[in-house]
């Protein structure tokens, strides 16, 4: 892992100076599990805003896995369509790479997309 955010214990990480070990996600995860600073690395990476942290596997977690852990700490939100209270990760981002989330859950968005597609497919041809 290389990042401007890395603190002092970086030098003890198995990935220090070895980007080759982190290129493949499976190998990177195995490397992290053998790493002597895994607990420090995990605490550090989970303290960062997800979208400002490094890409790829860090502390044996992919970006998506880290995002889920971080979002699970946030209060849940009520969907404006189904009114279910759902964790923040159940809502898509407003814009790729931005932390804000949609007000409608992914399930409702998917359902709406399916319904619209089915309606479109069964609609009589336009004359």
Under the criterion CB under 6 A, does residue 58 sit at the interface with ligand SF4?
Answer: yes
Which pairing describes strands 85-86 and 77-78: parallel, antiparallel, or unpaired? antiparallel
Per partner kind, with CB cut-offs from 5 to 8 A, the member of ligand SF4, Zn ion, none near residue 105 is: Zn ion
Separation of alpha carbons 127 and 117, rounded Å = 20
Least CB distance to ligand SF4 at residue 37 (A): 5
Binding-site size for ligand SF4 (CB under 6 A) equals 12
Q: How many other CB atoms are found less than 10 A from the CB of residue 26?
A: 8
Q: How many other CB atoms are found less than 10 A from the CB of residue 66?
A: 20
Interface positions with ligand SF4 (CB under 6 A): 1, 13-15, 31-32, 35, 37-38, 41, 58-59
């Amino acid at each position: 892992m290389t990042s401007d955010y890395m603190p002092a214990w970086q030098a003890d990480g198995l990935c220090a100076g070895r980007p080759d070990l982190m290129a493949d996600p499976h190998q990177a995860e195995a490397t992290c599990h053998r790493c002597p600073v895994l607990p420090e690395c995990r605490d550090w990476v989970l303290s960062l805003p997800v979208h400002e942290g490094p890409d790829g596997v860090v502390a044996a977690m992919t970006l998506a896995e880290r995002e889920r852990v971080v979002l699970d700490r946030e209060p849940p939100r009520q969907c404006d369509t189904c009114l279910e209270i759902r964790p923040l990760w159940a809502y898509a981002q407003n814009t790729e790479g931005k932390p804000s989330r949609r007000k409608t859950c992914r399930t409702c968005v998917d359902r709406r997309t399916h319904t619209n597609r089915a309606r479109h497919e069964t609609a009589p041809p336009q004359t």
